[in-house]
Structure 1
């Protein structure tokens, strides 16, 4: 479910936002997979050495293992210590390059002044900035405010996305950058373009490497292997062309982007475009919503045996009085596999409770970006079928109980973000070898609008909203069938022996005699997960909470 437009909230105390400090410079390191056959050597900083170091010396073969940093990077958190921000990326890191000549910014919520403030101060007035939004009603207050803000900058142009579905939103979060050195870059992330999301809330970013100009302009190869740069390019251009269905929104930009070489990109685009889309087997057709995820996972190699998918979101829409859509459409697509003999994975859903919001860095103010409802009879039924799979964001809640499962086999792991409330959205499949089969970073929450409904006997996907994400798996990132992916905590780079602690504790850690490439995946939440205890409920932004948060504030909403 998309975040609803900002509504008036009443806090018992003031909750102002201060200007964030600039984060570490990091554009010099590409987090997309390295070029083929290029070795990657792990390096740790003093702040992350303790988290990354193995508990016992690794064999020489492991010390020489090819290590690949996480393709997803967390965003910096203003009020956390430096150690928790190791390898994190700030908005200034993404936009502060003085060589940027043009920026296309796709999002749901926009603060034009905030966006412009993160370009290089000497060149920001020269950057051609295009903002794509979904406020199609001319009288929409959000649209009127956006136009007023943009009018203060001569180099800012607004574009309204094509919105054919009444209840859909333009929820995609993406930056497309062009530079004076004839390179381009695609950045897909989870944060609204507002200060709140880039300050004290957990979000994440996927960056393409710098894309050079291609020898020949090409629309990509729709039938290229899934995970290849050629396929990614074809699907991204197909997504962008969908904006131009009724009018020219970004046609010149699409033509410009087609001139760049995506060879170094590794990953699969999983996006949603509003409308009714046939679910086809033609490899040249880009699929959308649940059909895109289902099709992609049919090509992703999996470990045999049991597995579990941990879904972590910041919003859950009204899904219905039964779990039919959740199980038969969303969970079924996330269960898709190239190994049909594998049992269906178990599922967990991470969503914060009021207690976790109260104790977050911004207290109740964080809750304005996190949404679900449990007021109506139908929503109460939804809560009952979700309760068995609900898990806490922070695993230090007094009422929580150990959730068990494959993710818990990794033992105690501290991501360092339990007080930074989640706006990030991740879908991760853990296997019985304490490794990760695949991971998705996306703007899509748990909602029919985002993933679509199965219509016309499941021969069509009916999607309402714009969403975008990137699916990755170890083989495609390392260009090696022997590659493994492991979760990393407090650092982007995995230790050479995979998960030494889990191994020494007999919890199914990665085999120490495995010498194939090792890919890290930055996990934003702590392990082991905790299930909701009896009587616990998810945070509801439209409810009233009289118990003060850690800053002494209470929460009530009105005008909703």
Structure 2
């Protein structure tokens, strides 16, 4: 579907269209490929959104700022590989060719030197390649083991960011860390995601695991599906599973890894696409499960359940795909003990749900969890809700259509207290990057390719922008790493306490969280999403709240929750505008000296 506006042509990706296809879990086949060998200059080699394609185009053909004007497209100047900070070489399994990041990115110091902030000039000299640490590989292995097994009761991590001080990456993970042999001896894995670069993904696995069975669950259709099959065809161990998207404009947005080891099972729920860009200079979130041991032979599949019912909820989520390939993984989960899980699973799956089915998914699932398990707090009406996300859907003509009615009612639920949504005046703070946030980022304007808020949507809901707050993460050293993470939480008026916290793939949209139909009798959800809910009661806190961990590098109590951005959030000033990807920005250069003209 295409439309034209004063800002140019924009396109909805093929995976968003309404025509249905039969679910397909099979080996990649070139019989689907109609365009093999085509050359699409400037486009990424994997299916993705139009915003991502625009970012890739501007990276390959930047528009340089010159005396207040932008030049014609120029090819980026060749850059030498830096020997220090030379990419993500994280384990002994890396070989030449795995560290492709730096070759494609150029010298990180050139970018860092343009940035404001205390990390600018020291970024490169303070950061050593992880396999060339002066303390030796054994210390690095021990550090990773400690990170995995102690000091982080929430098992909530951020991704590593290239180009910032190494101390700010303390406690962070890269995908190669997650797939490292240190985490287990891999037998097979499943990767659920939206945007997937198969070749890059395969090379994130250690060499000894690259031929292990890999199931990729995606939502691509027609031409994009053919592209994915073309990518996967060289890898005989890879199977593709197409998630059904029966409702128009839905996406398979869930980001999860299922990792089956000789030693047990691990579940990873995160916010990163399976592409190089998302693991390089963005702020992303990860929940990493414990290593779940196998149940004794003969134990029933219902054994090994957690207090949070995580096992049965994960099985229900996988069953919603109605896929034979995922039935195999359901059996694997049944064979393991998930009783150590302390988080609640919060998922969305496409469909129209009535009666008790409504409470299984989306924002009504959150409402039920908070009603049944959250603890009431004093003066709860004064506790704000914070939503932080990387994309925004169409929310209606005014705030009463969804945001401040059904969605807010779910977000403000605490225990059995029930108030009419019309009586609620709980403050809502929405964190979304400004144009200047993006312009001054490590990536510059192309970072906005992962913030796909369109002018067509923004123009219809100018009322929403009064809720916006800037992205600010100075305390964590990630102020210039744009967020692709999505988080939601309820905080005290002084921003020192948290009643609950969510990390999820779900952006601020009705497609992700669901919207009422038939006067509230039915909940309609378009997309697959997945996240986890943290409640204080599951971590031994009877106060009803977590303390906010203000300094992520400090030795504050383990019960302090590591919020990945600064609190309180800073409201937009009169000159600030939300980042909108499909309009030009030509009045000021970004950190690479370039402009943004998406088409």
| Same fold at TM > 0.5 | yes
Q: 2:145 aligns with which of 17, 23, 28?
A: 28
Residues 237-271 of structure 1, C-alpha deviations (whole Å, 9 max, x = no match): 00001111xx5241111112111111100111110
Q: How many residues align structurally? A: 469
Aligned to 2:317: 239
Are the counterparts in 2 of residues 87 and 491 from structure 1 also a CA contact under 8 Å? no
Residues 388-445 of structure 1, C-alpha deviations (whole Å, 9 max, x = no match): 21000027xxxxxxxxxxxxxxxxx712211000000000111247211110000000
Aligned to 1:257: 333
Distance 2:502 2:281 in 1: 22
Aligned to 1:129: 214
Q: CA deviation at 1:123?
A: 3.1
Q: 2:158 aligns with which of 51, 56, 74?
A: 74
Q: CA deviation at 1:337?
A: 1.6
Q: 2:206 aligns with which of 117, 120, 124?
A: 120
Aligned to 2:387: 311
Residues 334-358 of structure 1, C-alpha deviations (whole Å, 9 max, x = no match): 1112152797531100000111101
Q: Could you tell me the TM-score, scaled by structure 2's length?
A: 0.73
Q: CA deviation at 1:286?
A: 6.3
Q: CA deviation at 1:332?
A: 1.7
- Secondary structure of the 2:597 match is strand
- Secondary structure of the 1:250 match is helix
Aligned to 1:407: none
- Equivalent runs, 1:186-225 vs 2, <5 Å: 186-215=267-296, 216-220=298-302
Looking at secondary structure, tell me which structure has more helix per residue: 2
Q: 2:307 aligns with which of 225, 228, 232?
A: 228
**Could you say which structure has the greater relative contact order, defined with CA pairs below 8 angstroms and 6 or more residues apart?**
1
Is 2:154 the counterpart of 1:92?
Answer: no
Is 2:252 the counterpart of 1:170?
Answer: yes
- Equivalent runs, 1:402-417 vs 2, <5 Å: 414-417=475-478
Aligned to 1:267: 343
Residues 290-326 of structure 1, C-alpha deviations (whole Å, 9 max, x = no match): 1111111112113211211111100001222222111
- Secondary structure of the 1:476 match is helix
Aligned to 2:512: 450
Is 2:172 the counterpart of 1:110?
Answer: no
Aligned to 1:481: 542
- Equivalent runs, 1:268-417 vs 2, <5 Å: 268-280=344-356, 287-298=360-371, 299-305=373-379, 306-323=382-399, 324-338=401-415, 340=417, 345-375=426-456, 379-383=458-462, 385-394=463-472, 414-417=475-478
Distance 1:69 1:493 in 2: 15
Is 2:592 the counterpart of 1:556?
Answer: no
Q: 1:148 to 1:276 in 2, by over 3 A?
A: same
Q: CA deviation at 1:30?
A: 7.3
Distance 1:483 1:102 in 2: 39
**Structure 1 residue ranges, 4+ long, deviating more than 6 angstroms after superposition:** 15-18
Distance 1:489 1:88 in 2: 17
- Secondary structure of the 2:265 match is strand
- Secondary structure of the 1:28 match is helix
Distance 1:375 1:537 in 2: 15
Give the unaligned 5+ runs of structure 1: 35-39, 43-67, 396-412, 497-517
Q: 1:90 to 1:495 in 2, by over 3 A?
A: same
Are the counterparts in 1 of residues 168 and 553 from structure 2 also a CA contact under 8 Å? no
Distance 1:388 1:494 in 2: 37
Is 2:101 the counterpart of 1:101?
Answer: no
Q: 1:19 to 1:493 in 2, by over 3 A?
A: same
Q: 1:524 aligns with which of 552, 555, 564?
A: 564
Q: 1:534 aligns with which of 574, 579, 582?
A: 574
